Structure 1
Amino acid sequence: MDIKSLLLFLIPWSLFFILFEFILRKKLNINRPKGFYRGVNNLHKRVEIGLFIGFLLSMIIMEFFFSGMDKYTLFIFFTFLFGVRAFMEWKFDRPTREYIITFWAFCFFCVFTISFIFLF
């Protein structure tokens, strides 16, 4: 996998994601949240911190015991993270409808990960 083919893969996917999110927010009248990250409640924050710690530990274990991290681990982690985040927002914060955007990101990342695995 060279950098040129990777960029030719990432740039259209990124532009499609940004454009569709913009259209979805305008069409459904969903405001952007203030700040970079906003947890729904304490349970949500704890679950995501646990996911990050589990991911870091799995990276360390894979590096030392299995001679290197699999190149798909990061994509799988983000797909799982978006899924958990969409579920928590849907379950505990429905009035803001931010879960629609997060679910879109989850679906996008699933398709992106599968296409990345098959192409590279």
Structure 2
Amino acid sequence: MNFLIFAAAVFVAAFVLEKAVRKVFRVPKREGRLYRYVNETHRWTEWSIAGAVFTGGIAVAFWNPGVELFYLLIAFYLLLYSARAFFEWKFERKSRQYILSLFTMILLVGLLWIINGPLAFILK
């Protein structure tokens, strides 16, 4: 029950913070799907990162089962959103979407750190 309340609070906070970031930094909302890649290189880069992290996670879990995969998840979000922000900054700088990608990366990594650290009791 604690986890459901926490998840709902995080969802609402993320929604409000996203709206605030969009307003403060004047980041327009995109039309269409959930996410649109900048170009094919961007698509291949993100899928390569996802595949490498997935393969690495299986390898780490198989050969060293005592290791927490939590750190691999943090590395995944850092790599994914850093690459996403770079491509958005490099090829669509005027849309300012890279600001939102950097904000999302900081929010996700911070949330994972909080869940694994000070609020670990919620998951138990």
TM-score of the superposed pair, with normalisation by structure 2 = 0.78
Q: Secondary structure at the match of 2:51?
A: helix
Q: Secondary structure at the match of 1:61?
A: helix
- C-alpha deviations, 1:93-116, integer Å up to 9, x for none? 111111121111112122212212
Alpha-carbon separation, structure 2, partners of 1:63 and 1:29: 40
Alignment pair present for 1:14 and 2:19 = no
Contact 2:27 2:95 in 1 (8 A): no
> After superposition, where does 1:20-59 map in structure 2 within 5 Å?
20-27=17-24, 28=26, 30-59=28-57
Q: Unaligned 5+ residue runs, structure 2?
A: none
Distance 1:100 1:37, change over 3 A: same
Alpha-carbon separation, structure 2, partners of 1:117 and 1:91: 33
Q: Secondary structure at the match of 2:65?
A: coil
Letter in 1 for 2:108: F
TM-score of the superposed pair, with normalisation by structure 1 = 0.80
Which structure 1 residue ranges, 4+ long, deviate > 4 Å from structure 2?
none
> After superposition, where does 1:1-120 map in structure 2 within 5 Å?
4-27=1-24, 28=26, 30-67=28-65, 70-72=68-70, 73-119=72-118, 120=120
Identity, in percent, stands at 25
Letter in 2 for 1:36: L
The CA deviation at 1:56 is 1.4
Between Structure 1 and Structure 2, how many residues are aligned?
A: 117
Q: Unaligned 5+ residue runs, structure 1?
A: none
Distance 1:83 1:10, change over 3 A: farther
Distance 1:81 1:33, change over 3 A: farther
Q: Secondary structure at the match of 1:34?
A: coil
